[in-house]
Structure 1
Amino acid sequence: MDYLAQANAGVAGLHPYQAGKPIEELERELGISNCVKLASNENPLGLSPKAQAAISAALKDLTRYPDANGYYLKHKLGDCFDLDPAGITLGNGSNEVIDLLFHTFVGQGDEVIYAQYSFIVYALATQAHGAKAVVVPARDWGHDLDAMLAAITDKTKLICIANPNNPTGTVLPPAELEAFLAKVPSEILVVLDEAYNEYMDPALRAPSADWVKRFPNLVVTRTFSKAYGLAGLRLGYALSTPELASVLNRVREPFNCNSLALVAAQATLDDADYLAEAVRLNRSEMGRYEAYFSARGLGYIPSSGNFITVDLARPAGPVYEALLREGVIVRPIAGYGMPNHLRVSIGTMAENDRFFAALDKVLG
């Protein structure tokens, strides 16, 4: 059987998402060791001590199914944001929550608006669900909100905004974003993807959880995979009205969040010192990256995330491959329409020094 020919039309035209190359795979391919991975925007600190303790305590119960509703985590998040826990939807990473929104609300003939250079999952989900992608040209590598408003038609079902944006790291001023939300017709859902929110300068951070109470068509997505250091456990969530969350729960898979992820997330929320250190390290090392690129005459996009995108002013593919041979994994982003750029995650000081030395060698 030609399985591809039997697939849904939207799925047949897709290619699998290309995740960052794992360290083990690179070491096996090249016969090298002690590689560093700066490709997937992970927290380089390791687990929160409180999360480790919570995981250890939960191991004895792994023969049992997890709490399908995530009762305790939802109530803790509800307290954090002063929101009704019934309006919180948990997912296997915020990626699953975003896909749930598409699965629930987007279908054949609908239109989805997102910006050029946005997180590639928006494009994949739009195509998979048979909708039309309306890609609005970027402004200064970020979102042009006026142009996105102008792109709205009677077929628009969803608008996706990543703030900070991945892979460019750009951020929208809260006042501009609030004015945008006020102008979007109430029947159109706006997904505000804030996966990197915790890394932002507090002065630039939007009061998005409060906006959920004012704009019933707003869904805010967050994750524990970045600043909270739980990427391997896959846990994200959405903040919305209880009515919208109730609809999402009709299609959400039962037991979609595992027991270790649930307890680790609760514990990490209580570890303010861990989060503060993750943010401090990121800010300090981001400054070193900016100074390094400036000293070598390399352009970069100022970033509010835990990564930075550098313009090599030449095709980045060969540089990426050469860095692999030096044992350093970064992220090529030609698939985003940025063939001369590499996205580099902010690691520890030692990991970043490895990148600096490797790039110096590769660029001669």
Structure 2
Amino acid sequence: MKVKKQLLSLNAYDPGKSIEEVKREFGLTKIVNLASNENPFGCSEKVSEALRSFSHYSRYPDGCAELLRGKVADHLGVQQNQLLFSSGLDEMIQMISRSLLSPETNVVMASLTFPQFRHHAVIENTEIREVPLKEGRHDLVGMQKVVDEQTSIVWICNPNNPTGTYVSDTEIKSFMKHIPKDTLVVLDEAYYEYVTANDYPDAMELINKYENLLILRTFSKGYGLASLRIGYAIGHEDLMSKLEVARLPFNTNSIAQIAAQAALADDEFVKRCSLVNKNGLQQYYTFCNEYNIDYYPSQGNFIFIKTEKSQQEVFQYLLQRGYIVRPIRDGIRITIGTEEENEGHLSVLKQILVEDASQIRLLS
């Protein structure tokens, strides 16, 4: 078949083994999945209440997500025509890439960031300019230097996945001043609800100032609706009207729209999750500091710790003991779980350190 040749260099997304598969393979009765940055506390009870009476399975969803659009616009203090909804942020990234990228353009991103940015750039056969992170953080000065007249998109994951680091308000404002007005800067704020840093950018303020800025957010993480796949973008109305053309009809389903409205109405649930996440991160910080393990302080619901030995070897060690993490270049990314899950996982990491004392060191 005459598929695009650039697809031959890519692999389909690998979600990893299912929990049931891991149980069977290693004879385990309990598995803790700390690989996908899901909310360990599920979602608001208001979501279940809102979905109990749903019965319109034979009807197409509202293609414009009108009710949800109004709720999100009010929540953020923006106009409804500044919003675009998608089936998770993966679809949004696909829509943006499809709309703006071509063989005549280039895209700028960090060299260790959310892989879907690069994945879709390859599919669109555009030039990819990757700038290494500095101490786990986006090097905005370095990224600015490689932007030119052909740069169509600059991707900034904030907080960055997988390192959990962030770009500050001062840094992004300085960066935006030097970027051409016809180059789109995308701030992926998938983990926005977990951020606690005082100098984190106020995206709504930035949106009003820069027409070439687009903000991405999702209901998958802090709101706990990962299985329903619903995210959205916030940007200038002219840009949004153009991106709408690339959106598939009825791309967000009715159940997801109803659930998102209910989730949005429960601020207390999100605040509790953020607080418990902050405490969970501290559990890992304390452990890493005690055992001299390198890590990045995180603004997400995950932590990146460095490894000296093969990430796959560390991953396999943990997997055989019932803990699934995400192996990444130079380290492993661990989702923050419940206090009990964190304690259990840290006890297994401690076992690695004990074995390291007589063998080859696994953790940095």
Q: Aligning the two structures, in what range does the TM-score lie when normalised by the shorter sequence?
A: over 0.9
CA distance in 2, matches of 1:98, 1:128: 12
Cα-to-partner distance string for 1:31-88 (whole Å, 9 max, x where unaligned): 3221000001110001210011112222x12221111110011111111121111110
What residue in structure 2 maps to residue 9 of structure 1? 5
Q: For 2:47, which of 27, 38, 51 is the aligned residue?
A: 51
Residues 86, 235 of structure 1: alpha-carbon distance in 2 compared, 3 angstrom cutoff:
same
Which amino acid in 1 is paired with 2:48? Q
Q: For 2:61, which of 58, 61, 66 is the aligned residue?
A: 66
1:136 aligns with 2:126: no
Q: Secondary structure at the match of 1:250?
A: helix
What residue in structure 1 maps to residue 37 of structure 2? 41
Which amino acid in 2 is paired with 1:34? K
What residue in structure 2 maps to residue 345 of structure 1? 335
Which amino acid in 2 is paired with 1:23? I
1:354 aligns with 2:344: yes
Q: For 2:256, which of 236, 257, 261 is the aligned residue?
A: 261
What residue in structure 2 maps to residue 29 of structure 1? 25
CA distance in 1, matches of 2:198, 2:170: 12
What residue in structure 2 maps to residue 230 of structure 1? 225
Deviation of 1:20 after TM superposition, in Å, equals: 4.3
Cα-to-partner distance string for 1:121-166 (whole Å, 9 max, x where unaligned): 1110110110011001211111111111110122111100001000
Residues 28, 196 of structure 1: alpha-carbon distance in 2 compared, 3 angstrom cutoff:
same
Q: For 1:276, which of 271, 274, 281 is the aligned residue?
A: 271
Q: For 1:18, which of 7, 14, 17 is the aligned residue?
A: 14
What residue in structure 1 maps to residue 185 of structure 2? 190
- Contact 1:20 1:331 (C-alpha < 8 Å) held by counterparts: no
TM-score, L = length of structure 2: 0.94
Q: Secondary structure at the match of 1:249?
A: helix
Which amino acid in 2 is paired with 1:50? K
Q: Secondary structure at the match of 1:203?
A: coil
Q: Secondary structure at the match of 2:133?
A: coil
CA distance in 2, matches of 1:26, 1:66: 36
Identity value in percent: 34
1:309 aligns with 2:304: yes
- Contact 1:9 1:130 (C-alpha < 8 Å) held by counterparts: no
CA distance in 1, matches of 2:21, 2:254: 28
Select between 11-20 and 131-140 the one with higher mean Cα deviation. 11-20
CA distance in 2, matches of 1:154, 1:203: 34
CA distance in 1, matches of 2:20, 2:207: 42
CA distance in 2, matches of 1:23, 1:354: 17
| Mapping of residues 77-156 of structure 1, within 5 Å | 77-156=72-151
TM-score, L = length of structure 1: 0.94
Deviation of 1:202 after TM superposition, in Å, equals: 4.9
The alignment covers a number of residue pairs equal to 354
Q: Secondary structure at the match of 2:59?
A: coil
Deviation of 1:360 after TM superposition, in Å, equals: 2.0
CA distance in 2, matches of 1:327, 1:182: 48
Select between 203-212 and 265-274 the one with higher mean Cα deviation. 203-212
Cα-to-partner distance string for 1:75-121 (whole Å, 9 max, x where unaligned): 11111121111110100101211110001111113100001211111
- Contact 1:197 1:205 (C-alpha < 8 Å) held by counterparts: no
Which ranges in structure 1 are unaligned for 5 or more consecutive residues? none
